[in-house]
A = this chain, B = another copy of it.
Amino acid sequence: MAMSAKTKDKYQRILDAAVKVFAQNGFYNSKVAEIAKEAKVADGTIYLYFKNKDDILIKLFEEKMNVIIAKLQEKLEGVSDPLEKIRIYIHSHFEMTAAHPDLMEVITVELRQSTKFMKEYDNKQFNRYLRALSDMIRDGKDAGLIRQDINPGIQKRALFGIMDELSLYLVLAGENAKYTVESMSKEVADSFILGLTAPLS
């Protein structure tokens, strides 16, 4: 949708407020009025941009996944080795978690929340994010770097599961986290890539 700069600013402010409120109270316990208050807009203003609370979560997810994917693509620019790309993907995900814990908490926890939500909502941006992974794995197979028995469809979900679980740990542990972005990225990338590339005995 085409928006003026002022409108876009309000829209973004509401989304950022929603991230904060959802992360703090959980989606189900949050009220649209709280989001309005956090965004410093009138309650009615929210309904100019969003149908309801569900719609805020969906738009938030699409908008923010777009940003995550754009940042990832920036980092992948000029990199052609599929294994190096997987390594960058992993690091980028954990880095995003450390930089935006509220956002990642909402993505990790709140979006899994309602099964209904996941069953009915065709999550296009999330699928794009996953597909970037299976493409890298497929490219690695084509280049003879990854074993032919590897299933990219299972492995993209496996790696997302690893990152998602460890991101959840980082977010919930906060300052008590025992692992850093760097140590987790290295451990996960080393073992995941070896699992795809080492010969099966």
A residues lining the B interface (CB < 8 Å): 23, 25-26, 28-29, 105, 108-110, 112-116, 118-119, 149-151, 153-155, 157-158, 160-166, 168-169, 172, 178-179, 183-184, 187-188, 190-196, 198-200
Contacts and interface: CB of A to CB of B under 8 A. Distances in A.
A158 B172 CA distance: 16
A135 B155 CA distance: 25
Contact of A194 (B116, B151, B200): B200
A179 B153 contact: yes
Contact of A113 (B109, B119, B157, B184): B109
Given A195-B192, A195-B194, A200-B194, A154 B166 contact: yes
- 3 cross-chain pairs, A with B, having the tightest CB-CB distances, nearest first: A161-B165, A195-B195, A198-B198
How many copies of this kind of chain does the complex include?
2
Contact of A112 (B109, B187, B190, B199): B109
A191 B161 contact: no
A112 B115 contact: no
Given A164-B165, A165-B165, 16 more contacts: A23-B115, A26-B116, A28-B114, A109-B113, A112-B112, A113-B113, A118-B172, A154-B166, A155-B187, A158-B165, A161-B161, A161-B164, A161-B166, A190-B200, A194-B194, A198-B199
